[in-house]
Amino acid sequence: MSPGNRPKVYQKIWAAAYADNKVECFEVRTMDAENKGPYIPYWHKQYPLGQTLADFLNIDFRSWNEHLDIIQFIVDTINAGDDDESQFLSLFNIATHWLRTCSLVAPMAAAVERLSLCYERGETLSADEVKRHMTYYQALQFRLKTVVRTVFDTDNTNSMTSRERYMEAWREDKTTYPELRFGQIQVQEVWINGIMTCLYDNALDYIGQDLMENGPQEFVTREVVVSEEPSDLVDFMLNRYLDSNLEFRTCKYCGRLFGAKRGSKGEYCDRKIAGSTKTCKQAGSLRLYEQRRMEEPAVKAYKKAYKTHNARIRYGLMTRAEFVKWSAKARLLRDQCLDGKLSLEEFQAWLDHDKL
């Protein structure tokens, strides 16, 4: 979608979410203008299971409170008779910013977009619904931090499942650990994997991305929660996390939380590294491989000999050309030793053959 444009909302707009044991998907939906189906995906994103909640815990709501002031100003301006399209574009840009920060706030983004529907029906606009959602999310963040620490904490060594821990905590504190209730559930054919652009997406989001980075797109049947209320999506996803016996770990590359199945060995998240096409998992695996490789006796022997021969250049005992020739041969034999084609003793003997 080019800058300066915004997609059209038809009749109604709402949020939806679905998940399996590996991924979670969030959508903002509107009606199908051509009546070819019950809805069209206005916006859609997929993440590894648990990442959305982990991202939500890091939101700084101070800047979002400023967004509320802007929304109220825009609403007052439109109600006063200034209904320029730029006002609705500003609302759309705020909703877009929220969704790019964390998909869990999809219902609040939908509430912002519903203002255009109210306008079309000739109603007086109000920011009350958006403010109500914001109040809920701000209180939710503190509560979820407690839930993650007590229910989904990876350092908890007892044998209880995540659901058993939640129920135990619920019996003690029903405010922090409420019953997980969610509204309308529908069994629908939905898509997972691949990259599917929607009306809401900015094409710039996909430049440089592997269009099949999550595997080929496929349509599957899933239980989907559909609602205008934030609590429905939150409780639905928490229930899915408990079903999957999820725990939250700190990524050893970026330091952020990510979801992993309890008992699994993952140490890195699947987020893209800023300025790179690699994920933390890919970069972390490479770093671990290089660390292990550096501990190989053949590599240690090569590094020691490399320093010794490099020093000979400074003392005038070896020319630069001779050193380049030697190092090329040494790397070749080192790699043969690592591949098992040359014994460590034979490699060490070659390194030592020209000792002074």
Burial 26-46 (b: 16+ CB within 10 A, else e): bbbbbbeeeeeeebbbbbbbb
- What pLDDT was estimated at residue 292? 64
Distance CA 177, CA 353 (A): 71
Per-residue pLDDT tens digits for 20-68: 988 999 999 999 888 777 888 889 999 899 999 999 999 999 889 999 9
Higher pLDDT, 253 or 206: 253
Tell me: pLDDT of 2 over 50. Answer: no
CB 199 within 8 A of CB 40: yes
Report pLDDT for 37. Answer: 78
Sign of the CA dihedral with 330 first, then 336, 338, and 342 last: negative
pLDDT digits (tens, 9 = 90+) for 154-197: 765 667 889 999 999 999 999 999 999 988 899 999 988 876 66
Q: What's the mean per-residue pLDDT of the chain?
A: 85
Q: What's the gap between Cα 158 and its chain centre?
A: 28
Domain boundaries, the chain: 13-261, 296-352
Question: How do beta strands 23-30 and 40-48 pair?
Answer: antiparallel
**What was the pLDDT predicted at 66?**
93
SS3 label, residue 291: helix
User: What pLDDT score was predicted for residue 76?
Assistant: 94
Predicted local confidence at residue 215, as pLDDT: 67
pLDDT at 210: 45
| pLDDT above 50: residue 247 | yes
Cα–Cα distance for residue pair 130/133, rounded to 1 Å: 5
Residue 79, φ and ψ in degrees, nearest 5: -65, -25
| Low-confidence winner among 54-58, 105-109, 346-350 (lowest mean pLDDT) | 346-350
**What is the percent of the chain with per-residue pLDDT over 70, rounded to a whole number?**
87
Give per-residue pLDDT as tens, 311-332.
888 888 889 888 888 888 888 8
What is the pLDDT, as a whole number, of residue 212? 39
Give 197-236 pLDDT, tens digit per residue: 676 665 445 444 443 345 678 889 999 999 999 999 999 9
| 224, 201 Cβ separation under 8 angstroms | no
pLDDT at 287: 63
Q: What is the pLDDT of residue 206?
A: 47
Contact call for residues 42 and 13 (beta carbons, < 8 A)? yes
Q: So what's the pLDDT on residue 142?
A: 93
Q: Is the pLDDT of residue 137 over 90?
A: yes
Give the mean model confidence (pLDDT) for residues 333-344.
86
What's the confidence (pLDDT) of residue 14? 95
Task: Assess whether pLDDT exceeds 50 at residue 343.
Answer: yes
